[in-house]
Structure 1
Amino acid sequence: MKIILATLAGFGQAKTKTECEACKELQKGIERNLEKTRNQNFGGGNSNWEESRLGSWATSETRMIQTIEYACQGDFRCSSFLEEHEEDIEVWFKTGPDSAPEEDRIDFFKQFCVEKSKACCEDENAFGKDCTPCPTNVNQEICSGRGTCEGAGDRKGKGGCKCNSGYKGKNCDKCSSEYFLEAEITMTEKPLCTRCMHKCKECKGGNGKCLGCREGYEIEGEINEDGTHDCKKPTPPPTPEPEDNIIIKNAEEVSPESENQHAGAIHSDSIEESPESVPVESSMEGAVKERPAPTPDPRFAVDAFANKHEDL
């Protein structure tokens, strides 16, 4: 028997379990295997003959080995506890843990986890070496019903309250940061803490009851007499348009009519600046021609010459 238990103790890796947790693990494994082997027998086919020669199957060594062999399922701490208390467990098994009358059965947890090893407290709501009661409120609720007692039932337990999210305090009766008390409560009521709005760093209530703004938010409106206020995201400055967009936009605002007027103005200015020539419309768009000077009539030249000589 010792060889088997020593072998079992070598399997698996050590885990951060207390002796009380190891004992509870062993208890679960034994109860599981007792149920599995309850209706089995020695396997010879003649149960009456076997029991007359080998004794009762319920308390046989064969069943005991099958019951404890895989009770710890390779857990090192559990296997170590089993090896340490091997002889006492063997005696306990012979008393018929599931076959003796109910009043004669010896409770495994009380026998080994509480009394023999002194690893656990009989009261599951106690902790520490002296099994001190866990903290409660006036209604005897552990940690005000808003948390759990650390190490409850374990002589290695610390016993402090491990509060649920949103709660704090020695007895989990206060709201933690980023939470607020939903309503005023009496001494007999559980606290009800609600999470602040995402924009509040801390708060005293719902919307508009912030006590400081989260990063990326700023105070909105006036601050109330109790110091609370609302928060908002700051208004971003207007984004300037890219230079390319401005050029395109200005080009789109110029109409064809304005382009024609602009061209006409340039055309008239060029005409006024050329007094020696007379602009004439041409079939060619935008072209300007000069009109040639008139050719003098020869007859007028002869008459002028004759008149000049008569005067002489």
Structure 2
Amino acid sequence: MALMQCRIFIAILVMSFVSHINGIEKPKNPDSKEAEKLPPCQACKTVVNSVQHGMARTNKRHFGGGDTAWEEEKLGDYAQSEVRLVEIQEKLCAEVQRGQNQCYSLAEEWEQLIEEWWFKQKELGDLHSWLCIKKVEYCCPDNHYGPECKPCEGFPDNVCNNNGQCKGSGTRKGNGDCRCNAGYSGPTCSECAEKYYESYRDEKKLLCSKCHPACKGSCSKAGHKGCNECNSGWMKDGERGCVDINECTSKDSCKTNQFCVNNDGSYSCLACDNSCEGCHGDGPDMCNKCASGYVLKDGLCIGVQTSSSDWTRYLTYLGLCIATCIIFQKNTLIASVIGLSVAVYVAVSEYMLSTLTNQNQFFQNSIDSFLKNMN
């Protein structure tokens, strides 16, 4: 009896221990999105967005069909009721990913403020403006910055000349300096940056456009004629401005078994065809000399094996003729039929080979002509 009671006691202890272990929450990864700590203004916006998400989630809840007049009356009561507020607060921050832990903490800290706004929202207006800007002072209005929410340079309609962003805009941080967009410079983004030129300006607007790639540094207008100085790979011409240098005119531009292709401001070296030993373009018809194992035929460097196949073909024809002669001694009629067949076979074979060669040559010539016109 005592042994049975001891076993029951041990079983209860084990079950209690297991329940306790399962009830312990696993520590969250401090580097996870939920544990991320957001800047003050962004954290406040996260809480506000979560409240707005809850309002959208509970919009027209509990009403769907029936007496329309009754529903409108009840819906008006529910819209700003404490019941709806509780439903929103129950899942506040649940949909948040980045900074969720911080959102829970701030929502709990600002619970009374959110309730105050909820019941007076018609008087207090937008939650972000009332809570984040006026009450907790985590944010500033747009285009204002710093602890005192000073207006950015050019406020209200020409901040940074509309060519940049005010540092700290909308927050209690930053110094109000302008961070200029690409192509603009100066304290208020009122000048064109290097490698850009002034393409338009009036009293309120400045437009800067990028210089031509031929320009080194600054330029005065569009195109290669507007360059003040030419970039590498270009040279100055009195009438045409910066003109591309054709590096391919130099014999030392590429290695022995490469050919040169000129590009705007530069050049490329491409490998010759395997059949070539030196070349002036791509393909077996552009060889300066045929490589070892290749021979020149009809303007193309072709493999020796391809040339040997001609001998194989001729020997085949010869063998068929000899066989026909042997048969002719035995049976003239059969030999005549076979001889005619051999003649037709040889004629058709040679015609097909000739046609194929001409088509290949025509195709290659067309490609060469196209490439020359492109250059």
Q: What is the distance in 1 between the residues matched to 2:239 and 2:108? A: 69
Residue in structure 1 matching 2:107, options 82, 103, 111: 82
Which structure has the larger Rg?
Answer: 1
Shift of the 235–204 alpha-carbon distance from structure 1 to 2, 3 Å rule, reads same
Residue equivalent to 2:212: 197
Q: What is the distance in 2 between the residues matched to 1:210 and 1:143? A: 28
Q: Which has the higher contact order (CA 8 A, sep 6+)?
A: 1
Correspondence 1:135 to 2:148: no
Give the structure-2-normalised TM-score.
0.49
CA shift, 1:62, in A, is 3.4
CA shift, 1:199, in A, is 1.7
Shift of the 199–14 alpha-carbon distance from structure 1 to 2, 3 Å rule, reads farther
Residue in structure 2 matching 1:233, options 245, 268, 277: 245
Correspondence 1:149 to 2:172: no
Shift of the 221–74 alpha-carbon distance from structure 1 to 2, 3 Å rule, reads closer
SS in 2 for 1:192: strand
Q: What is the distance in 2 between the residues matched to 1:242 and 1:92? A: 83
Correspondence 1:114 to 2:142: no
CA shift, 1:171, in A, is 1.1
How is 1:144-293 mapped onto 2 (pairs within 5 angstroms)? 144-183=161-200, 185-186=201-202, 188-202=203-217, 203-207=219-223, 208-215=225-232, 217-222=233-238, 229-239=241-251, 242=278, 245=288
Kept in 1, the 8 Å contact 2:54–2:88? The answer is: no
Stretches (4+) displaced over 4 A: 240-249
Deviation by residue 1:240-294 (Cα, 9 ceiling, x = unmatched): 9959947999xx9xxxxxxxxxxxxxxxxxxxxxxxxxxxxxxxxxxxxxxxxxx
Shift of the 231–82 alpha-carbon distance from structure 1 to 2, 3 Å rule, reads farther
Give the % identical residues.
Answer: 25
CA shift, 1:175, in A, is 0.8
Q: What is the distance in 1 between the residues matched to 2:131 and 2:148? A: 17
Tell me the amino acid that sits aligned with residue 88 of structure 2: M
CA shift, 1:156, in A, is 1.3
Tell me the amino acid that sits aligned with residue 92 of structure 2: I
Q: What is the distance in 2 between the residues matched to 1:181 and 1:82? A: 50
Tell me the amino acid that sits aligned with residue 106 of structure 2: F
SS in 1 for 2:52: helix
Shift of the 210–85 alpha-carbon distance from structure 1 to 2, 3 Å rule, reads same
Kept in 1, the 8 Å contact 2:230–2:236? The answer is: no
The unaligned stretches of length 5 or more in structure 1 are: 1-6, 43-47, 253-312
Paired residues in the alignment total 218
SS in 2 for 1:182: strand
Q: What is the distance in 2 between the residues matched to 1:15 and 1:74? A: 6
Kept in 1, the 8 Å contact 2:34–2:97? The answer is: no
Tell me the amino acid that sits aligned with residue 86 of structure 1: E
Deviation by residue 1:176-210 (Cα, 9 ceiling, x = unmatched): 11110114x34x13111111111212212122121
How is 1:49-68 mapped onto 2 (pairs within 5 angstroms)? 58-60=81-83, 62-66=86-90, 68=92
Residue equivalent to 1:37: 58
SS in 1 for 2:248: coil
Deviation by residue 1:217-256 (Cα, 9 ceiling, x = unmatched): 13232499xxxx524224433549959947999xx9xxxx
Give the structure-1-normalised TM-score.
0.58
Residue equivalent to 2:144: 126
Kept in 2, the 8 Å contact 1:26–1:71? The answer is: no
Residue equivalent to 1:70: 94
Structure with higher helix content = 2
